[in-house]
């Protein structure tokens, strides 16, 4: 099956399966055990200075990553869908490392190389006003983010005759 057709079908199946078990339905104050009972195991868990982050990623086919932050007592303090322009703007070139990207956005949908950069390009998929887009972070050999860019996923190329 074509992957471009499979992704929307999988997301629809998740949504039809019950919005009550979707990360965005979690409310502050919910206990960790209840989050896990409702959502299942997270795709990643990260230690934070003030507690723990449970990360639920729909990458590589989906376009959402939910961070559910818990306090030291294991209660939800915030839920954020981070695949959006505003969270990407927190990324600081020459300061952030690959570990920061993983903690904030989860595993990328794709890691590639390009000839003009000595390192890897980490790519996540997201939607902006229903427009499919990419977030690319250029990570050097020491794991430092050197630059980042967002761009449309589908773009028109000039017709060559």
For all residues of the chain together, what is the average pLDDT?
Answer: 88
Longest CA–CA span in the chain (Å) reads 65
The pTM of this model reads 0.81
125: its two tokens: 């998929």
Name which residue leads in pLDDT, 160 or 148: 148
Least confident of 17-31, 71-85, 120-134: 17-31
* Confidence at residue 68, expressed as pLDDT on a 0 to 100 scale: 98
Q: How many CB atoms lie within 10 A of CB 101?
A: 21
Picking from 85, 83, 92, 78, the residue whose alpha carbon sits closest to that of residue 26 is: 78
pLDDT single digits (tens) 101-145: 999 999 999 999 998 899 999 999 999 998 999 999 999 999 999
Collapsing DSSP to helix, strand or coil, 151 comes out as strand
Domain coordinates in residue numbering, the chain? 3-13+25-81, 85-152
Q: How many CB atoms lie within 10 A of CB 103?
A: 17
Q: Is the peptide bond before 60 cis (omega within 30 degrees of 0)?
A: yes
Section 33-44 average pLDDT? 97
Question: pLDDT confidence of 99, banded at 50, 70, 90?
Answer: very high
CATH class given for the domain over 85-152: alpha beta
Give the CATH number of domain 3-13+25-81; options: 3.40.50.2020, 2.90.10.10, 3.90.1200.10, 3.30.1450.10.
3.30.1450.10
- Within this chain, domains 3-13+25-81 and 85-152 share the same CATH topology: yes
């Amino acid at each position: 099956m074509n992957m471009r057709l499979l992704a929307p079908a999988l997301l629809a199946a998740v949504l039809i399966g019950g919005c009550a078990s979707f990360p965005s339905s979690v409310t502050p104050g919910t206990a960790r055990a209840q989050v896990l009972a409702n959502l299942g195991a997270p795709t990643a868990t990260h230690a934070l200075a003030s507690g723990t982050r449970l990360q639920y990623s729909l990458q590589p086919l989906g376009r959402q990553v939910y961070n559910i932050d818990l306090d030291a007592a294991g209660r939800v303090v915030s839920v954020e869908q981070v695949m959006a322009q505003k969270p990407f703007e927190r990324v600081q070139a020459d300061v952030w490392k690959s570990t920061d990207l993983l903690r904030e956005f989860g595993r990328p949908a794709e890691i590639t190389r390009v000839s003009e950069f000595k390192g890897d390009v980490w790519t996540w998929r997201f939607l902006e006003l229903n427009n499919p887009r990419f977030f690319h972070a250029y990570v050097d050999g020491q794991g430092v983010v050197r630059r980042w860019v967002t761009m449309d996923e589908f773009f028109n190329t000039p017709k060559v005759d």
